[in-house]
Amino acid sequence: MGIVRAAEDVEGAVVAGAAGGGGGGGGGEVTAPLLLRQHKQGRGDEEKIQDDAGGDGGGRRGGGGGGSMSMLMLSTAVAVCGSFEFGTCVGYSAPTQSGIVDEVGLSISQFALFGSVLTIGAMIGAVTSGRLADFLGRKMTMRISATICIFGWLSLHLAKGVIMLYFGRILLGFSTGILSYVVPVFIAEIAPKNLRGGLATSNQLLICSGSSATYIIGALVAWRNLVLVGIVPCVLLLTGLLFIPESPRWLANVGREKEFHASLQMLRGEDADVSEEAVEIKEYIESLHRFPKARVQDLFLRKNIYVVTVGVGLMIFQQLGGINGVGFYASSIFTSAGFSGKLGTILIGIIQIPITLFGAILMDKSGRRVLLMVSASGTFLGCFLTGISFYLKAQGLFSEWVPELALTGILVYIGAYSIGMGPVPWVVMSEIFSIDMKAIGGSLVTLVSWLGSFAISYSFSFLMDWSSAGTFFMFSAASLITILFVVMVVPETKGRTLEEIQDSLIDSRSRLRDP
């Protein structure tokens, strides 16, 4: 992919969220550039005392020391309009199935393709997103994506047949694939270290908010009118981009010095001292540019195969848990179980946001591994209860329990997924790849995620026709295996700098080779 992730701060501000970033260099693993080590060793005693006291040195990395954070928060708020858009695209098919099928006359296989074709466009968008973001900049890439999204929604609104529906859905998928990369990258690149975790998880929070809004409003309005829920965040994103600065790290990477300093100053506040942070960013980028360009085959070198296993494995298990089947076809699941599809999707929309917010709060407190294991345990329970409900229905037993069991199971599943299995794999993926491999590694992991999403979303309707109970029992089994994978393979990255994460991964690789 050759995506140049223009720098994280010296302490390891890694990209959290979809599709990682990437270093400008390839070759060997970068754990701590020499210039930065020398720079840190050369600090004065006064600065060391400030560091030991827990401060950020008067705002030099975190924008502390009295600097205004208003522009940072505004920039994040604008960027996550793209995350909200992401959520509306993913959630659109769930409450609209009956309306589209009845009005346009789609068969089961045609609607299955309508729901899943989004992921085909997203795979194309994910593959091209890194190059676009590096060549055009983060803001321009978001601007292009929002514009394409508007055309996609209009295509759905005006559709008279299946071709226009597919075309609009592919456009939305392409834009979603781009947004899944560029939004978390932009947030991570503008965020100071001490706020990175919270700001990065706002990406997942707004994705859930978008899908929740689609579920709730979609139960109340016609499917053609629901496109307005997707167009509004696009307009807000296009408007907001006029008032926020470009990523300072991208500006530094492309050599736009004056704009780099101006952007960093705006994000940290007029009174903040950004001189040292600016020096560290520049030195980090210069050190990365001295390495050769990373290649795809480097992912499979002995030193990288462990982190590839972790990143790809988490994405595979995230999809095998069935989230895109449940998310895309929630309304039909409830209807099949004898519960109101509209009420069920509304309830999903209501619980997603507070639980995702709770997970964001826990992200830097409880740790990644704990959240993953708790979440996978919850998705197991939710799928198992749903499977039991469909089994009872098929056997004609306790029929009065079936709707309530299905509702309980799906709500438990969605809540458990939102707290961990949704956001945490993206965070872990962005933290475990060394900076020179982040671009290619992030692209591979993102592609695997969208491939899995397509496989599950397309096959879900056919699996439900085969055996509704069996489908959810398979998903629950995948959740159990996920717990074992996390226990045995996934490292804990909470509260560690990039260098510390890389050092711990070296130790983990050694243990795997020499048990």
Residues 195 and 299 in one domain: no
Which has more pLDDT, 255 or 28? 255
Which has more pLDDT, 176 or 302? 176
Residues 185 and 329 in one domain: no
| pLDDT higher than threshold 90 for residue 245 | yes
A 10 A CB-CB count for 101 gives 17
Of the pLDDT bands very low, low, confident and very high (cuts 50, 70, 90), residue 34 is very low
> 303-312, 424-433, 444-453: which range is least confident on average?
424-433
Per-residue confidence (pLDDT) for residue 254, from 0 to 100: 84
Overall number of domains in the chain: 2
| Residue 209 in domain | yes
Of the pLDDT bands very low, low, confident and very high (cuts 50, 70, 90), residue 368 is confident
Task: With CA atoms as reference, report the closest residue to 277 among 255, 252, 256.
Answer: 252
Task: With CA atoms as reference, report the closest residue to 378 among 436, 418, 338.
Answer: 418
Instruction: Write out pLDDT tens, residues 144-157.
Output: 999 999 999 999 99
Per-residue confidence (pLDDT) for residue 38, from 0 to 100: 38
Mean predicted confidence (pLDDT) in 367-391: 92
The Cα–Cα gap between 431 and 367 comes to: 13
Instruction: Write out pLDDT tens, residues 410-423.
Output: 999 999 998 889 88
| Residue 469 in domain | yes
Residues 235 and 347 in one domain: no
| Residue 16 in domain | no
| Residue 256 in domain | no
Number of separate helices (H) and strands (E) present in the chain = 22, 0
| Residue 57 in domain | no
Mean predicted confidence (pLDDT) in 372-379: 94
Do residues 35 and 285 make contact, with C-beta atoms less than 8 angstroms apart?
no
The radius of gyration of the chain's CA atoms, rounded to the nearest angstrom, is: 23
| pLDDT higher than threshold 80 for residue 68 | no
Per-residue confidence (pLDDT) for residue 465, from 0 to 100: 86
239 Rama class: left (phi>0) / alpha (psi -120 to 50) / beta:
alpha
At 295, give phi and psi (nearest 5°): -120, 155
Q: Which of 210, 244, 278 is the last residue of a domain?
A: 244
Residues 239 and 299 in one domain: no
User: Tokens standing for 155?
Assistant: 């295509």
Do residues 154 and 140 make contact, with C-beta atoms less than 8 angstroms apart?
no
From residue 329, how far is each of 87, 112, 323, 339, 421 by CA, in Å?
15, 9, 10, 14, 19
| Residue 283 in domain | no
Residues 134 and 203 in one domain: yes
| pLDDT higher than threshold 50 for residue 31 | no
Which has more pLDDT, 484 or 364? 484
Residues 227 and 333 in one domain: no
- Scored b (16 or more CB within 10 A) or e, 226-257 reads bbebbbbbbebbbebbeebbbbbbbbbbeebe
Per-residue confidence (pLDDT) for residue 155, from 0 to 100: 95
Global pTM reads 0.71
The Cα–Cα gap between 354 and 207 comes to: 13
Residues 361 and 461 in one domain: yes
Give residue 160's domain range. 68-244
Residues 330 and 468 in one domain: yes
Task: With CA atoms as reference, report the closest residue to 272 among 52, 56, 49, 77.
Answer: 56
Residues 304 and 449 in one domain: yes
| pLDDT higher than threshold 70 for residue 223 | yes
From residue 385, how far is each of 11, 235, 381, 391, 457 by CA, in Å?
44, 41, 6, 10, 21
Residues 227 and 300 in one domain: no
Q: Which of 244, 275, 305 is the last residue of a domain?
A: 244
Q: CATH number for the domain including 333? A: 1.20.1250.20
| Residue 59 in domain | no
Do residues 347 and 411 make contact, with C-beta atoms less than 8 angstroms apart?
yes
Mean predicted confidence (pLDDT) in 20-25: 32
Q: Which of 214, 244, 274 is the last residue of a domain?
A: 244
Of the pLDDT bands very low, low, confident and very high (cuts 50, 70, 90), residue 32 is very low
Per-residue confidence (pLDDT) for residue 496, from 0 to 100: 60
Residues 230 and 83 in one domain: yes
| Residue 275 in domain | no
Residues 153 and 83 in one domain: yes
Q: Please say whether the dihedral angle defined by the alpha carbons of residues 133, 168, 205 and 407, taken in this order, is positive or negative.
A: negative
